Amino acid sequence: MIYPIVKFGNPVLEKPSEPVTVFDDELKKLVADMFESMYAAHGVGLAAPQIGISKRLAVVDITFKEDPEAKLVLANPEIIHTEGRHTQNEGCLSIPEFREPVTRARKVTIRAQDLNGNVFERTGEELLARAFLHETDHLNGKLYIHHLSALKRDIIKRKIRKLVKAGEW
Ligand code: NI
């Protein structure tokens, strides 16, 4: 099932999510739906709050279906190590049409649980590191625009308010 993507302005995006505690068939179905919804929206990462579900769960595939091994399920992810700095344009499915350069760590190690609840660690660089940080932020109620200057963030928020008024958001 393809879920509609929740957009900026919905409070679910700005509150911390609840830990995943049950690793059952329902979770597997939800994760399958999250991958489907992410691909339908042309994204490389999706966090559960973005489909209105306040759970510490995210999916990532920075290869966009090219490499099945690149499909990652992150339940209860934690950033355990960061290194270096890297600046790149970043966007978010919940803030469509906007992109801004964001400086983040270049190399990131994450610890998370897989679909069966097994704990694993994974280190990513550049785009994958960025995806780990961006999706973990989502689960803490944080969006990439929170990493921008207050001025840039206000400009984006003002544009979004206009789109909301026009019924285009
Ligand atoms: Ni996002």
* 42 Cα: distance to centroid of ligand 1 (angstroms): 12
* 105 Cα: distance to centroid of ligand 1 (angstroms): 17
pLDDT tens readout for residues 89-127: 999 999 999 999 999 999 999 999 999 999 999 999 999
Ion ligand 1: residue ranges with CB closer than 5 A: 92
CATH of domain 11-165: 3.90.45.10
Residue pair 135/61 in contact (Cβ under 8 Å)? The answer is no
Residue pair 33/1 in contact (Cβ under 8 Å)? The answer is yes
* 36 Cα: distance to centroid of ligand 1 (angstroms): 16
The CA distances from residue 104 to 32, 64, 87, 116, 121, in Å, are 29, 22, 6, 30, 19
The tens-digit pLDDT sequence of the chain (169 residues) is 999 999 999 999 999 999 999 999 999 999 999 999 999 999 999 999 999 999 999 999 999 999 999 999 999 999 999 999 999 999 999 999 999 999 999 999 999 999 999 999 999 999 999 999 999 999 999 999 999 999 999 999 999 999 999 999 9
Q: Hey, how many other C-beta atoms are within 10 angstroms of the C-beta on 132?
A: 27
Do the strands 45-47 and 119-125 form a parallel or antiparallel pair, or are they unpaired? unpaired
Residue pair 31/115 in contact (Cβ under 8 Å)? The answer is yes
End-to-end CA distance of the chain, in Å? 22
Residue pair 24/56 in contact (Cβ under 8 Å)? The answer is no
* 49 Cα: distance to centroid of ligand 1 (angstroms): 10
Angle at 115 (CA atoms; ends 24, 121), nearest 5 degrees = 150
Annotated catalytic residues are: 135
